[in-house]
Chain A
Amino acid sequence: MTTPLIVDASVHPYPRSNEELREWLPPAFRDRGIPDVELPWYQAPGGDHHPSTLGSGQPGSDPAEVSRAIFDEMGCAYAVLNPLTRGNLPDRLLNSAVCAATNDWLSVRWLREGNRHGCFRGTIRVNPEDVAGSIAEIERWRNDPMMIQVGVPLQSREPYGKPQFWPIWEAAANRGLPVAVLLNGGAGVEYPPTPAGHARTYPNYAAFVPLNGFVHLSSLIVEGVFERYPELVFVFSDGGSDVLTPLMWRLDSFWRPFRDQTPWVTQMPSAYVRNHVRFGFSRLEGPPDKVAPEWFELDDKSDLLLYCSHYPRWSLASPSDLPQTLATEQRARILAENALALYGLARPS
């Protein structure tokens, strides 16, 4: 029996300590305070990290340890590293410096020193609140083939379809880089995570927050961003493909009544998804095994999903978390083929 090909589309490396990241900050920002390396906005009771990732230090901070878990134990061929940063800091320039430091640290410690097997790839983290800084950062990494996507936080004070962000998406699209949206760590200036304010329990928070990605997605469509940048692809790494069908049906049904307000949307909104949107597979979503094969064919989800472990999160997934009932082809697409195609990764021999 051949081992299936697997690409892990979202792994979250951490610095060993605050000091380790600090070393990479530009001199002008080295004396600035930034939130702790380990401080998510909502912390999971019992720990944010999976027990198997707890060692002597910060989970996810040792390339060798992560390599063992992802490549040896889980059998992946590639892992896309997308590091968290420290929240939407009010000082956008400091925030951009943190992003740049994170990218430099990632490039050296993970994509060179820790990458002898050549299986890690990386994310250019940028701060959308600093448009010029984001574009500069994307350009700074243009010659590094290990950086295969741009990363932005899920948290935002404006939906990503709005025009102030367009130059960033343009820069990413011009470089052939997908944009990955990922729930960020840290403590920044953000609105409460649900439209009814804060969640009273962690499970409520964890269940709800990825759904905010749909607001970004629908604004990208309705503002005509995919019309402007035909090569642009957005990846919603935390998932949310489960609500794609219901909410896209709704978006489609209101297209004709509102067409006159947004004449640049020339197609049915759902028509934009196939070429422009991908989702991280999440084991904290449905469907149950019984309906999984049909469910994943609805709206081409088998072509949209990218398997992610989200190592070292408490909700760590493994390839066996895919529904058992999937057809071989569906499984192959979600485990690897969609990611190989999206990122232009060479098929391992």
Chain B
Amino acid sequence: MPRSSPPETSTREHRVCALDELPPGGMRLLPLGKFGVGVFNVHGQFFAITNYCPHEGGPLCLGRVQGTTVVDQEAVGGTGYVLDGQVIRCPWHQWEFDLASGRTISEPLRRIRAYPVRVVNGDVMVTV
């Protein structure tokens, strides 16, 4: 079944869940858009991305959310760990995306389609 980018349609706001149903580190996958939209709680901030990796179209939101590595001469193995809980890895080829910026960790930068999320009266809302 083809997995190409979904067409543009008019947007509206959807209720994801109650605030306490999406604790930090959690994810909710909603059947919105062509491939679904995942809403993530990253240390109390919310981000929403399409469930579609720009590489080969894998189900991005099903990947693990963790941190990533940087060069750190002071650390064992010369490697430090940052952005814990903020980096999602595509479950197929493990490309790393920063949920906050909506882009790959590495250059050349590739974007993922992201959606605005806000909290209104104790509900998490996403606009798709």
Interface residues of A (CB under 8 A from B): 255-257, 259-261, 263-264, 266-268
Write out the residue numbers on chain B whose beta carbons fall within 8 Å of the beta carbon of A264.
Answer: 71, 78
Residues of chain B from 42 to 92 with CB closer than 8 A to chain A in the complex: 55, 68-71, 78-79
Q: With A263-B79, A267-B107, A268-B108 known to touch, is A257 a contact of B93 (CB < 8 Å)? A: yes
Closest Cβ neighbor of A268 among chain B residues: B108
Interface string of B103-126 (1 = CB under 8 A from A): 011111000000000000000000
Write out the residue numbers on chain A whose beta carbons fall within 8 Å of the beta carbon of B104.
Answer: 256
B96 touches A (CB below 8 Å): yes
Interchain CA distance A257-B78 in the complex, whole Å? 20
Write out the residue numbers on chain B whose beta carbons fall within 8 Å of the beta carbon of A261.
Answer: 69
Can you give 5 A-B contacts (C-beta < 8 A)?
Answer: A256-B106, A257-B95, A260-B68, A263-B69, A266-B107
Is the pair B107, A263 in contact by a Cβ cutoff of 8 Å? no
Interchain CA distance A264-B106 in the complex, whole Å? 11
Q: With A267-B107, A268-B108 known to touch, is A259 a contact of B71 (CB < 8 Å)? A: no
| 18 more A-B residue pairs beyond the given contacts A263-B70, A264-B71, A267-B107, with a C-beta to C-beta distance below 8 A | A256-B93, A256-B95, A256-B104, A256-B106, A257-B93, A257-B95, A259-B96, A259-B105, A259-B106, A260-B69, A260-B96, A263-B68, A263-B69, A263-B79, A264-B78, A266-B106, A268-B107, A268-B108
Interchain CA distance A264-B75 in the complex, whole Å? 14
Write out the residue numbers on chain A whose beta carbons fall within 8 Å of the beta carbon of B69.
Answer: 260-261, 263
Q: Main SS of chain A's interface residues?
A: helix
Interchain CA distance A256-B87 in the complex, whole Å? 13
Closest Cβ neighbor of A224 among chain B residues: B71
- Cβ of A31 to closest chain B Cβ, rounded Å: 45
Write out the residue numbers on chain A whose beta carbons fall within 8 Å of the beta carbon of B107.
Answer: 266-268
Write out the residue numbers on chain A whose beta carbons fall within 8 Å of the beta carbon of B4.
Answer: none
Interchain CA distance A261-B79 in the complex, whole Å? 9
Is the pair B96, A256 in contact by a Cβ cutoff of 8 Å? yes
B94 touches A (CB below 8 Å): yes
Write out the residue numbers on chain A whose beta carbons fall within 8 Å of the beta carbon of B70.
Answer: 263
